[in-house]
Amino acid sequence: MDTRTNAILTVLLREYGFTHRSLADEVNRISGRIFGRPGAATDRDVRRWTSGSVRWPTGRYLLPLAEIFDRPPEAMGFVPRGRTSRLPVPPAPARPGQEEPVKRRAFLTASTAASVALVLRLEETPVRGRLTGADIDRVTAAVGRLDAHFTAIGGGALLTVATAYIGRLRDAVDGCIYGPRVEQALHRALSGLYSTAGWAAYDSGDGTTSRLHHAAALQSGILAKDGYAQARAWSDLSLQTRAEGRHREALTINRAALESRQVRQSPRIAALLHSRLAIGHARTGDHGACARSLLAAEKAHDRFDTTAPPPPWLRFLDAAEIAGLAAIAHRATGRLPDAERATAQALVLLGPSMHRSKAYYGVQLAELQLAQGDTASARTTAAKVVTTAVSSPRIAQRLATVHHKLAAA
Q: Tell me, yes or no, whether 297 lies in a domain.
A: no
Do 83 and 170 fall into the same domain?
no
Give the closest residue to 241 by CA, choosing from 223, 218, 264, 261. Answer: 218
Pick from 189, 242, 259: nearest CA to 217: 189
Local confidence band at 91 (pLDDT 50, 70, 90 cut-offs): low
Residue 123 pLDDT level (bands cut at 50, 70, 90): low
Of 344 and 92, more confident? 344
The whole-number pLDDT of residue 119 equals 52
> Is 389 within the bounds of a domain?
no
Verify that 55 and 168 share a domain, yes or no: no
Global pTM value: 0.67
**pLDDT, mean of residues 61-69:** 82
Clarify whether residues 163 and 194 are in a common domain.
Answer: yes
Residue 304 maps to a domain: no
Angle at 218 between CA 212 and CA 219, to 5 degrees: 90
Do 101 and 75 belong together in one domain? no
Same domain, 112 and 179: yes
pLDDT tens sequence across 163-193? 888 888 888 888 888 888 989 999 999 999 8
Residues 292-324: tens digit of each pLDDT: 999 999 999 999 988 888 887 888 888 999 999
pLDDT value at 244 more than 60: yes
Burial code of 326-352, b = ≥16 C-beta within 10 A, e = fewer? Answer: bbbbbbbbebbebbbbbbbbbbebbee
- Domain span at residue 18 reads 1-91
Beta bridge partners of 176: 129
Final residue before a domain boundary, out of 91, 118, 133 = 91
Domains: count for the chain: 2
Residue 159, CA distances (Å) to 74, 78, 149, 396 in order: 17, 21, 11, 17
| Parallel, antiparallel or unpaired: strands 176-177 and 129-130 | parallel
Residues 31, 87, single domain; the answer is yes
6, 83: one domain: yes
The CATH number given to whatever domain includes residue 55 is 1.10.260
Mean pLDDT over each residue of the chain, to the nearest integer? 82
| Dist CA 250 CA 294 (whole Å) | 17
Judge if 181 and 77 occupy the same domain. no
Residue 99 has pLDDT above 90, yes or no: no
In a domain, 1, yes or no: yes
pLDDT at 120: 55
Burial of 298 (0-12, 13-18, 19+ CB in 10 A): middle
Where a domain ends, among 164, 198, 225?
225
Same domain, 207 and 173: yes
| Structure confidence by residue, pLDDT tens digits, 208-226 | 888 999 999 999 999 999 8
Give yes or no: residues 212 and 112 share one domain: yes
Q: Which residues contact 65 (CB under 8 A, 6 or more apart)?
A: 27, 57, 73, 76
pLDDT of amino acid 353: 77
Query: Are residues 99 and 218 located together in one domain of the fold?
Result: yes
Of 173, 207, 225, at which residue does a domain stop? 225
pLDDT confidence bin for 132, thresholds 50/70/90: confident
**Same domain for 77 and 99?**
no
Is the confidence at residue 399, as pLDDT, over 50?
yes
Where residue 37 falls (left for φ over 0; alpha for ψ -120 to 50; beta otherwise) is beta
DSSP secondary structure string for all residues of 58-91: -HHHHHHHHHHHTS-GGGGT----GGGGPPP---
In-domain check, residue 288 = no
